């Protein structure tokens, strides 16, 4: 059964709900409310700091997923990262995570990024999703994660190329 949901940019009223959902999901960075506020804040054009996007998946029970991306300009090149993606346990494997990732990927393209990177626990079930989206492994950070200790798998998607169907 497919879940009825919509992906939309987050608004300030989503912060508490996204943070509460974050605390229920095992393999996300576990950001604070302040971290989510930073993700929602507009980039400061004066400092040249990173730009961020923050999307939520909304369904009948409210916010059921979220994704945050970042784009940073370095030497005239835009570097993009998929920073965090989380979906309520009860609604996994129905397309919400994929739709959230695609929203961030589309945003990164719109920022002028030629590729987008992410890091994920080496034993995460999300690796299959990232591969299906066209991400390829580029490296490992040994023992990067704690509780439990795990390696970080580094992955990259070239945005100039067409991704697999």
DSSP characters over 22-91: HTT-TTS----HHHHHHHHSPP-TTTT--EEEEEEEEETTEEEEEEEEEEEEETTEEEEEEEEEEE-GGG
For residues 68 and 53, the answer to whether their CB atoms sit within 8 Å is yes
Sign of the four-CA dihedral 60, 53, 25, 1: positive
Does 148 sit behind a cis peptide bond, omega within 30 degrees of 0 on the bond before it?
A: yes
The CA distance from 125 to 82, in Å, is 16
Check residue 132 and give its pLDDT.
Answer: 96
pLDDT digits (tens, 9 = 90+) for 41-90: 876 554 556 899 999 999 987 899 999 999 998 888 889 999 999 999 88
pLDDT digits (tens, 9 = 90+) for 111-131: 999 999 999 999 888 999 999
Q: List the structure tokens of 73.
A: 């300009």
| pTM across the whole model | 0.88
In CATH, what class is 6-117? alpha beta
pLDDT digits (tens, 9 = 90+) for 98-112: 999 999 999 999 999
Where exactly are the structural domains of the chain? 6-117
Check residue 76 and give its pLDDT.
Answer: 80
Which of residues 155 and 150 earns the better pLDDT score? 155
């Amino acid at each position: 059964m497919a879940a009825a949901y919509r992906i939309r940019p987050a608004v300030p009223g989503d912060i508490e709900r996204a943070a509460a959902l974050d605390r229920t999901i095992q393999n996300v960075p576990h950001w604070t409310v302040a971290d989510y506020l930073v993700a929602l804040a507009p980039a400061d054009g004066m400092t040249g700091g990173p730009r961020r996007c923050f999307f939520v998946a909304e369904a009948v029970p409210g916010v059921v997923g979220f994704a945050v991306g970042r784009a940073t300009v370095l030497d005239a090149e835009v570097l993009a990262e998929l920073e965090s993606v989380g979906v309520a346990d009860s609604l996994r494997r129905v397309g919400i995570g994929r739709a959230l990732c695609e929203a961030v990927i589309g945003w990164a393209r719109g920022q002028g990024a030629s590729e987008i990177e992410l890091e994920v626990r080496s034993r995460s079930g999300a690796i299959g999703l990232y591969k299906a989206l066209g991400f390829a492994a580029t490296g490992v950070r040994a023992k990067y994660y704690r509780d439990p200790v795990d390696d970080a798998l580094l992955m990259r998607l070239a945005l100039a190329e067409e991704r697999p169907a």
